[in-house]
Structure 1
């Protein structure tokens, strides 16, 4: 029998309840829109997407909601660029890492089971509980590397 996956909304509702906070319509709208984005995003992009759909949600509400989504394991910070953080939703997705080109700023996702092994081994060695790990490689993509050498 296939195991039913708990929805991101249920996870967030339960998390908010345990923290003694109110589950507001604004928080749900923010969460739903984040899970409609299938790429990395920043607060400005999320804010514009919500405004274009007729939602009157402030940037402050978004900035207050994102740390809660991170804490409950639905969203993670991906990288900091141009003075602001970029995020992605991770719930229901395979763990992955990122390569970021320092020249053209392209971001590529990749998977490698060794990354999970490193987290697991580190946790065992030091007796810690890993809630999330983030791995990023910075460098020059093949296209930009060729330009640098030329």
Structure 2
């Protein structure tokens, strides 16, 4: 498996774009975080390391990271587009607290198998899926 930096460089080259120092820094900061980052979150993290990088540069680079297959958009129902690592990450689903926004990544082989069986029963072969479960976390239920 290629390093993410090489994947991104190759994608940029194929798109007739250059790997600028700003794009490299944004990529590096993105790869250091394992969470679900909104463009503003990533911008604030990048800004701590290089104050000259603008928010539009971060936003455009996140789109490039997504197009290159390194990142993917996730939507938790609050109107904010977030990004998480895609390249080299295993498939997972999300459980989201509707009150505090706490998000858990979960993987359940039985659910995955049931989804494949359901698709097959309707004549489909799954090429991918997204599952978001919403509810209240234990902390919010106590409050």
Flag the 1:140–1:127 CA change in 2: closer, same or farther, 3 A: closer
Match of 1:108 among 101, 104, 118: 104
Match of 1:59 among 43, 46, 55: 55
**Whole-angstrom distance in 2 between the partners of 1:111 and 1:34:** 23
**Further displaced range: 40-49 or 29-38:** 40-49
Q: Alignment partner of 2:105: what SS?
A: strand
Match of 1:44 among 19, 36, 40: 40
Instruction: Give yes or no for contact 1:50–1:56 (8 Å, CA) kept in 2.
Output: no
Give unmatched runs, 5+ long, in structure 1.
none
Please give the root-mean-square deviation of Cα atoms over the aligned residues, in Å: 2.7
**TM-score with structure 1 setting the length:** 0.77
Q: Alignment partner of 2:2: what SS?
A: coil
**TM-score with structure 2 setting the length:** 0.80
Q: How does 1:80-91 map to 2 (within 5 A)?
A: 80=76, 83-91=79-87
Match of 2:137 among 138, 141, 146: 141
Runs (4+) of structure 1 exceeding 4 A deviation are 80-83, 114-117, 119-123, 125-128
**Whole-angstrom distance in 1 between the partners of 2:140 and 2:125:** 42
What is the Cα deviation at residue 6 of structure 1? 0.6
What is the match of residue 99 of structure 1? 95
Give unmatched runs, 5+ long, in structure 2.
none
Match of 1:18 among 11, 14, 21: 14
